[in-house]
Amino acid sequence: MLIKLTGGKVYDPASGVAGLIQNVYFKDGRIIDKPGDQPVDKEYDCHGKVVMSGAIDMHTHIGGGKGNIARTMLPEDHRQDPVPRTNITRSGNGHAMPSTYVTGYRYAEMGYTAGFEPAVLPINARQAHMEMADIPILDKGGYVMLGSDDYFLRMLTAKKDQKAINDYVAFTINAAKAIGVKVVNPGGINAFKFNQRKLDLDEQNVHYGVTPRQILQVLATAVKELGISHPLHVHGCNLGVPGNMQTTLDTIQGIGGLPLHLTHIQFHSYGTEGDFKFSSGAAQIAEAVNKNKNITIDVGQILFGQTVTASGDNMRQHANHKFANPNKWVVMDIECDAGCGVVPFKYQDQNFVNALQWAIGLETFLLVDDPWRIFLTTDHPNGAPFTSYPHLIRLLMDRTFRNEVLATIHPEAQKMTTLASINREYTLDEIAIMTRAGAAKLIGLKERGGLAPGYWADITIYTDNVNREAMFSKPDYVFKDGELVVVDGKVVKTKWGTTHIAKPNYDASVEKDLKDYFDRYLTMKLGNFKISDDEITEDERGSLTVHPTKTAI
Amino acid sequence: MAVITEVPSPFCGVGTDDLSIQVDGIALKVVAYGCAVNTPAFEQAIGDSNPRLAGKSVSLEVAVTQAATLLAQTKQPVIGGCATDVHGMRALLSLADRCGAVIDNMGFNAARNNFLALQDSGWMNTTLAEVKNRCDLLLVVGTDLEAIVPRFFERYLWNEAMFLDDSRQRQVIYLGKPPSGNASTSPNGQKAQVLACDDSALPEVVGVLRALVKGQPIRADKAGGIAVADLQSIADKLKAAKYGVVTWGAGALGINSHAELIVQTVSEMIKDINKGTRCSGLPLAGKEGDLTANQVCGWTTGYPARVRFSKGYPEYDPYLYDTHRMLANGEADALVWVNAFNVKAVPPESELPTIVIGRSGMTFAKEPDVFIPVGTPGIDHAGHAYRTDNVVAIRLLKLRESGLPSTGEVLSAIEAEVQGVQHAN
Ligand SMILES: [Zn+2]
């Protein structure tokens, strides 16, 4: 079926198109060139509308054990937001940590067509994939967590060479069916198991004698040498600690030009000035990001209201449990592999710290120059549920609206932020970069995040509206792989997306030592640990899409 | 005849995956690393694998149609058992969503003790490999551990540990039920310390222990028959341990009403201990698909179990949507019973139209209206199941060619026919 989108204003940063009136054609799931005299089967009038590729959330907690703990722990949150079934959609519930089906529907209803789970524990990867397999419409994928696993730390202590590390990292990406590598509080999750309660960049793990700086260096090098497109995804040390801005600056300086993605940087941009010894470090962080082209960031914006934080960083989550609201929380150590912490939070605009966190996130967005190196996230659900993205886009694109909200937050926080003096308003082109072309480039997704011929026809069409929140809340049409899935902000058809993975090459001999380690210390056989292709594809709705690496198998 | 090695088990709850199983046609024999739980579960004969309507053999198609016809006439069926693999649960939840059913997995009265504590105050927990490599002190609360998990000590305690010089030096303390055997005795001969009390005294005993951990003064000399001085020594040991682990079987506490308060007291005590050193809980709950049901229900509905779909969206009530209670109070108009693991886990007696999707070989005192024998995940078809520590999902293997359909296949087929009937109406 040949489909034509006629007369829309196209924003396709991947092709350098910024607001040109163009027709878009697609057929059999793919964008095509203007066809010759082949008849158009269906035409959509897009005059007065904005056409972009489907949005991609490059960091959202949508699959894996900690999310399911968060769901299970918060029945009262679900009761606020029941979602009835329809003839074509399943029932479920929403708010902070929606059920899987509702996750898929609501993302699609905002024009998103892909989401990436950033914290896939190798030992819990099966669960992450099984949950994501129950998220309809979206494409998905995950970054596998390394850096606090005992096997890796033993390698560092034993001074194994970079090649051996690379093999282990590549093995793990393959075994967990991931597309990137993440490190969370480098070595800190492990240190917490030895009763360390904080771990600075140059502080040693008491058992292994290894520092976070070493871990970052070795993993960032591995990712680069393996040719993984997505740079090492870093949740840094000292999350949430006043003064952690300096840790973040040291992390940027110390990595020596290697590609790094610093995630939810808002939580890592705090100074210690002012009466409350809590201040914004956004300007210094943004300056460092602007200067260091090897660095990309996503913001992890907080927005006011009830949510739940779910993180692999059990050390910091344990420290933050005193802020739990409602007062219940879970911290886990997991399988000599990693850990997790789940703490409900209610961000309040009349709380000085929360109000300043809100401002720090926005300052960061507005002070970083290059939209190709910054990404729009709330670290769902940690800063806010993903359903708040349209509101966040309006805050970025509409200075008047932003200043109106600013005027309502805690007065001391207003004094501590430069937000009111920042005039920048994001353009539609910049939004399209952050949420589409830039995200696809960062993750290394081939043929996604753009509208050039050959790309998959993941397309979102909005009615242009000066109220950007209204505009981005309710797309007129969303196409996924060329199929119309959303009309007027409501799902009209469901389907299943693919799972994006990378398959970096490794020396198979790495499995010999691993097998011995698994047999001696772990509770599962190595052969049973590796996720096979058919586990993703056997139910006939999942599929795997392998993206290239420099050393692909 | 072939021997398959490193076979994962869905039966014992701890995800044992070192079994060797000899396959001879459709006969299985566990030839290495069997135990009292796993060996009979794997070796169970298939029995009569024909579907039956009120005891009469029929084809699978006829049975599926009859099940769909029955279900299409119901307003609020209850789907009990829910003992199957991840894919079976997906199909079960899909069917329940369409029929407006209540779903309830078999072991939830036990697991509820854990979930209510989680939903009220949370916990600090750990998983089996952390126990194996880090645990220097194991406190077993109210549970005869080896009776539930026969190989627990062999696999996770008396075994090589990454961070202990001599794993045989680990201390084991029982509080409440004493052990029924000697599995907890260290290879070096060191016996577990046992502070025994009646199950009914457990709430008092753990309450006092928690108070002692917090440093609260206790005026009594004894709690539940145990000397407070002995409890003080446990509190001291927990605080002195580098990585203490407190374990309990949620079902073992069940004779106390509101046993969730025992779990909560223990979990809050563990949080207190973590102000100084490290200590974690290890709730043991669930086998034969219990945790699998809770996990899949969790991500599909937001609630772990006992969900009602009759309003069109999921509602959760851990007490009201109990299969037995609903049947007894006349709140259901049909019973669907799903158990792909255990031929002895038959449905509760009921006068309602009853559909059983059960492990092949299941027999009944009273034949249900529809019985569809299915294969067992991990024997007759591949699948996934959760381990008792609720983090690790194991990949179940297909070991033989029995021709039995999976739970997922049967429930999806029934749902497709229900949908057809609904459309026709
Ligand atoms: Zn995150």
B153 in any annotated domain: yes
Q: What total of structural domains would you count in chain B?
A: 2
B24 touches chain A (CB under 8 A): no
Within a 10 A sphere around the Cβ of A534, how many other Cβ atoms?
11
Interface test with B, best of A69, A124, A335 (most B CBs within 10 A): A335
Please report, for the domain that includes residue B251, its CATH number.
3.40.228.10
Tell how far CA B96 is from the center of its chain.
21
- Give the residue carrying structure tokens 């966040």: A392
Tokens of B5: 């090695």
> H helices of A210-299, where?
212-226, 244-254, 282-291
For residue A551, the model assigns a pLDDT of 56
B69 and B206 fall within a common domain: no
B401 and B334 fall within a common domain: yes
Tokens of B288: 């034969």
Residue type, B357: I
Size of interface A-B (CB pairs under 8 A): 190
Contacts of A193 in chain B (CB under 8 A): 130, 134, 243, 278
B316 in any annotated domain: yes
- What angle is formed at CA A443 by the lines to CA A144 and CA A331, rounded to 5 degrees? 30
Give the separation between CA A160 and CA A153, rounded to whole angstroms. 10
Give the separation between CA A78 and CA A97, rounded to whole angstroms. 8
Q: How far is A337 from chain B (nearest CA, A)?
A: 9
B4 in any annotated domain: no
DSSP assignment of A134-175: TS-S-EEEEEEE-SS-HHHHHHHHTT--HHHHHHHHHHHHHH
The answer to whether B127 contacts A335, with C-beta atoms less than 8 Å apart, is yes
pLDDT (average), residues B77-106: 97
B253 and B351 fall within a common domain: no
Q: How far is A217 from chain B (nearest CA, A)?
A: 26
ipTM surpassing 0.95, yes or no? Answer: yes
Query: Alpha carbon of B172 to those of B188, B281, B368: distances in Å?
Result: 13, 14, 47
**DSSP-based three-state secondary structure for A346:** strand
Q: Summarize pLDDT for A93-148 with one digit per residue, the tens.
A: 999 999 999 999 999 999 999 999 999 999 999 999 999 999 999 999 999 999 99
> H helices of A322-473, where?
352-367, 389-397, 399-406, 411-415, 428-432, 438-443, 468-473
pLDDT cut 90: percent of chain A above it: 98
Identify which of B162, B304, B382 has the shortest CB distance to residue A150.
B162
Identify which of B8, B132, B243 has the shortest CB distance to residue A528.
B8
In chain B, positions 120-149, which contact chain A (CB-CB < 8 Å)? 120-130, 132-134
- List the B2-7 sheet strands across, edge first: B2-7, B19-24, B27-32
Give the separation between CA B228 and CA B218, rounded to whole angstroms. 8
For residue B287, the model assigns a pLDDT of 76
Examine the fold and report which residue of B247, B273, B299 is the final residue of a domain before the chain moves on.
B273
- CA nearest neighbour of B7 among B382, B341, B397, B401: B397
Give the separation between CA B409 and CA A542, rounded to whole angstroms. 17
Give the separation between CA A233 and CA A239, rounded to whole angstroms. 15
Domain that holds residue B414: 47-109+288-424
B182 and B318 fall within a common domain: no
B241 and B322 fall within a common domain: no
Contacts of B318 in chain A (CB under 8 A): none
Give the separation between CA B55 and CA B371, rounded to whole angstroms. 8
B417 and B296 fall within a common domain: yes
For residue B148, the model assigns a pLDDT of 86
Q: Summarize pLDDT for A26-70 with one digit per residue, the tens.
A: 999 999 999 988 999 999 999 999 999 999 999 999 999 999 999
For residue B255, the model assigns a pLDDT of 65
- The chain A residue lying nearest B312, using CA atoms, is A84
B150 and B264 fall within a common domain: yes
Residue type, B348: P
Whether B62 contacts B53, CB under 8 Å:
yes
User: In this model, does residue B339 exceed pLDDT 60?
Assistant: yes
B119 in any annotated domain: no
> Which pairing describes strands A49-53 and A459-463: parallel, antiparallel, or unpaired?
antiparallel
pLDDT (average), residues A191-212: 98
B329 and B382 fall within a common domain: yes
Please report, for the domain that includes residue B67, its CATH number.
3.40.50.740
Q: Summarize pLDDT for A416-465 with one digit per residue, the tens.
A: 999 999 999 999 999 999 999 999 999 999 999 999 999 999 999 999 99
Residue B361 DSSP label: T
The distance between the two most distant Cα atoms of chain B, rounded to a whole number of Å, is 73
Residues A146-181 as b/e (b if ≥16 CB within 10 A, e otherwise) read bbbbbbbbbbbeeebeeebbbbbbbbbbbbbbbbbb
B19 in any annotated domain: no
- The chain A residue lying nearest B303, using CA atoms, is A72
pLDDT cut 70: percent of chain A above it: 99
Identify which of A130, A335, A342 has the shortest CB distance to residue B129.
A335
Residues with C-beta atoms within 5 A of ion ligand 1: A 379
Residues B244-279 as b/e (b if ≥16 CB within 10 A, e otherwise) read bbbbbbbbbbeebeebbbbbbbbbbbbbbbbeeebb
The answer to whether A99 contacts B302, with C-beta atoms less than 8 Å apart, is yes
**DSSP-based three-state secondary structure for B236:** helix
A552 pLDDT band, cuts 50/70/90, is very low
In chain B, positions 147-166, which contact chain A (CB-CB < 8 Å)? 155-156, 160-163
Contacts of B115 in chain A (CB under 8 A): 72
Across chain B, mean pLDDT equals 95
B7 in any annotated domain: no
**DSSP-based three-state secondary structure for B82:** strand
Interface test with A, best of B119, B154, B275, B392 (most A CBs within 10 A): B392
Report phi then psi at B120, rounded to 5: -100, -40
DSSP assignment of A95-128: TTS--HHHHHHHHHHTTEEEEEEEEE-GGGHHHH
For residue B256, the model assigns a pLDDT of 64
Identify which of B87, B122, B394 has the shortest CB distance to residue A329.
B122
User: In this model, does residue B31 exceed pLDDT 50?
Assistant: yes
Interface test with B, best of A332, A526, A534, A541 (most B CBs within 10 A): A332
Whether B289 contacts B85, CB under 8 Å:
yes
B313 touches chain A (CB under 8 A): yes
Helix (H) or strand (E) holding A547: strand A544-547
- A379 CA to centre of ligand 1 in angstroms: 5
Q: Summarize pLDDT for B222-251 with one digit per residue, the tens.
A: 999 999 999 999 999 999 999 999 999 988
Query: Alpha carbon of A9 to those of A50, A52, A145, B318, B319: distances in Å?
Result: 5, 9, 40, 52, 55
Tell how far CA A256 is from the center of its chain.
24
Give the separation between CA A484 and CA B154, rounded to whole angstroms. 56
Give the separation between CA A517 and CA A117, rounded to whole angstroms. 28
- A382 CA to centre of ligand 1 in angstroms: 7
* Topology classification of domain A55-307+348-451: TIM Barrel (3.20.20)
Contacts of A82 in chain B (CB under 8 A): 311, 313-315
Q: Is the peptide bond before A326 cis (omega within 30 degrees of 0)?
A: yes
pLDDT (average), residues A214-236: 98
User: In this model, does residue B90 exceed pLDDT 90?
Assistant: yes
Q: How far is A70 from chain B (nearest CA, A)?
A: 9
Q: How far is B58 from chain A (nearest CA, A)?
A: 27
The answer to whether A99 contacts B156, with C-beta atoms less than 8 Å apart, is no
Q: Summarize pLDDT for B171-193 with one digit per residue, the tens.
A: 999 999 999 999 999 999 999 99
Q: Is the peptide bond before B203 cis (omega within 30 degrees of 0)?
A: no
Examine the fold and report which residue of B273, B300, B331 is the final residue of a domain before the chain moves on.
B273
The answer to whether A335 contacts B128, with C-beta atoms less than 8 Å apart, is yes
B142 and B104 fall within a common domain: no
The answer to whether B129 contacts A520, with C-beta atoms less than 8 Å apart, is no
In chain B, positions 221-240, which contact chain A (CB-CB < 8 Å)? none
**DSSP-based three-state secondary structure for A316:** helix
Tokens of B168: 């045989």
Total-model pTM:
0.97
B161 in any annotated domain: yes
For residue B425, the model assigns a pLDDT of 67
For residue A553, the model assigns a pLDDT of 45
Examine the fold and report which residue of B249, B273, B297 is the final residue of a domain before the chain moves on.
B273
B140 and B175 fall within a common domain: yes
B114 in any annotated domain: no
- CA nearest neighbour of B298 among B138, B90, B5: B90
Q: How far is A61 from chain B (nearest CA, A)?
A: 13
In the beta sheet, which residues pair with residue B282? B247
pLDDT (average), residues A368-390: 98
> H helices of B243-283, where?
260-273
B254 and B147 fall within a common domain: yes
Residues A111-123 as b/e (b if ≥16 CB within 10 A, e otherwise) read bbbbbbbbbbbbb
Across chain A, mean pLDDT equals 97
B189 touches chain A (CB under 8 A): no
